[in-house]
Amino acid sequence: MISNAAAIVSTGMHVVGTDQPRISSLELQLQACRKAMQSAGITRRDVGAVFTGRGPMSYTAMEWNMRIINELKIVPKMSTEVTIHGAGVLGTWQYAAMAVAAGIVDYALCCSGCMGTRWVDLVKVNAGVESDLQFEMPYGPTTPSLYALFATRYMHEFGVSSEDVARIAVENRKWALEHPDASMRHKGPITVEDVISSRLIASPIHLLDSSSWYRGGGVGSAVIITSADRAKDTANPIYLSGFGQCVTHEWITERMGLTDIAPSRKPNLTTTGAAVASADAYAMAGLRASDMDLVETSAPFTFLNMMVLEDLGFCPKGEGRDFVGGGGIDFDGGLPFNTNGGYLSFGQAANGMHMALEAVQQLQGTAHGRQVADAEHALVHFHGGPNGTHSVALLSNEQGMSA
């Protein structure tokens, strides 16, 4: 069985703040990789596989995995970029798990990170990457305006108001206030009124409905994954209990032409590939949404966090408003959701896997912010493109634990 057959045995993170000299995205990731390898007690000769996300937008390079391999002087048996936008970052863990579980390699290195806004205007560049060159890009879209299409349809179809989704920003901010590295910690708490009275950036999305850039723009992350048998000799391994992926489209205009295939049987914008990815992950692990002690997602807007909670199985489709409004993700007493503040308040670091590392730290009992008590299972969800690619991983801190 693939469930719990692989484990994360070390992590590495390199953060560059606004008060530090800017470095390249390549150096950022290399620093994280070196830290992960040192923590695992392995050398470049032990690494049999290298998996990366797509090349950072702030460092133009094709075949990004080859840059990492070249600089670290690794000679892997397996390597590739996983280029399904931001979902590919979590996808690297999935391919690494399969490689070590199959016995093809002993250790796999996964890494990501981007210096982002320290080098380029990501707001403009990202929309250019995620827009159909023929039917969307000529109208000058921004990333928020692309996601506003999903938001408008979702809120109309299920009667969701700006006040309903604003509560997610409020609760995420409470987690950020407990985390020393959160980008919005110094801004203090916010209210629903603060969110809905912040300026509109792409109706119905307000400024405080949106992710904030991570201060300094630079978070490099890396993990070392090995087989469960080898992981037994390490401290605090975190097992990959289940995982799944689903890619529904590249451009939004293409999503509207997708019929007779999951996650929906008709063109729509309100059900995402997270529904398919999470269903596969739960089936692999023998777990349910109700077994999760915490959830982390890369969703960059309040409405999308609500949609994702539905698609991940924490409430039925269209009932996210009632789930959130009824205290479902409340900082005190609800499901621990985006426990470092999430993209909304911890900050979005381009090409980053910091949300996944937050889940690992929580399960290890080493969280930098508020620690979730007695956490055994975590769900991590990454998305990418204009809501077109989705990856889900279920993590456990004891091998073989299941419902």
Q: Is 271 within a domain?
A: no
- On whether residue 105 sits in a domain, the answer given is yes
Expressed as residue numbers, the domain containing 18 is 6-120+216-226
Return the H-helix or E-strand segment holding 29.
Answer: helix 25-40
Q: What is the mean pLDDT of residues 325-336?
A: 98
Return mean pLDDT, the chain: 92
The pLDDT, as a whole number, for residue 130 is 83
pLDDT of residue 227: 98
Residues 55, 81 contacting (CB under 8 angstroms): yes
Express each pLDDT in 230-279 by its tens digit: 999 899 999 999 999 999 999 888 887 777 777 776 678 899 999 999 99
Rounded distance between C-alpha atoms, residue 303 and residue 168, angstroms: 8
131-157 pLDDT per residue, tens: 888 888 888 899 999 999 999 999 999
Q: Is residue 24 part of a domain?
A: yes
Name the DSSP letter for residue 224.
Answer: E
What residues does 79 pair with on adjacent strands? 50
* Residue ranges of E strands in 22-174: 47-52, 78-81, 107-114
- Does the pLDDT at position 403 exceed 50? no
249 versus 108: which is more confidently predicted? Answer: 108
Tell me the pLDDT band of 226, cut-offs 50, 70 and 90: very high
Check whether 123 has a pLDDT greater than 70: no
pLDDT at residue 402 greater than cutoff 60:
no
Residue 53 domain-assigned? yes
Domains contained in the chain, number: 1
User: pLDDT (tens digit, 9 = 90+) per residue, 156-168?
Assistant: 999 999 999 999 9
Are residues 383 and 272 in contact, defined by beta-carbon separation less than 8 angstroms?
yes
Q: Say yes or no to pLDDT of 281 above 80.
A: yes
Say if 314 falls within a structural domain.
no
Q: State the pLDDT at residue 60.
A: 76
- The pLDDT of 15-31, averaged and rounded, is 87
Interval 36-81: pLDDT, tens: 999 999 999 999 999 999 888 777 788 999 999 999 999 999 999 9
Per the document, the length of the chain is: 403
pLDDT band at 400 (very low <50, low <70, confident <90, very high): low
Q: What is the pLDDT of residues 171-210, one digit of tens each?
A: 999 999 999 989 999 999 999 999 999 999 999 999 999 9
The answer to whether residue 13 sits within a structural domain is yes
Query: What confidence score (pLDDT) does residue 120 get?
Result: 65
Checking phi first, is residue 9 left (phi over 0); if not, alpha (psi -120 to 50) or beta?
Answer: alpha
In a domain, 93, yes or no: yes
Q: Identify whether 60 is part of a domain.
A: yes
Six-digit token string for 274: 């997270």
Give me the CATH number covering residue 19. 3.40.47.10
CA proximity to 289, closest of 348, 251, 327, 337:
337
Residue 401: what pLDDT? 52
Contacts of residues 266-270 at CB distance under 8 Å and 24 or more positions apart, as own/partner, are: 268/153, 269/149, 269/150, 269/153, 269/154, 269/387, 270/150, 270/153, 270/154, 270/157, 270/158, 270/307, 270/317
Q: What is the pTM of this model?
A: 0.95
Token look-up 């621990």 returns 336
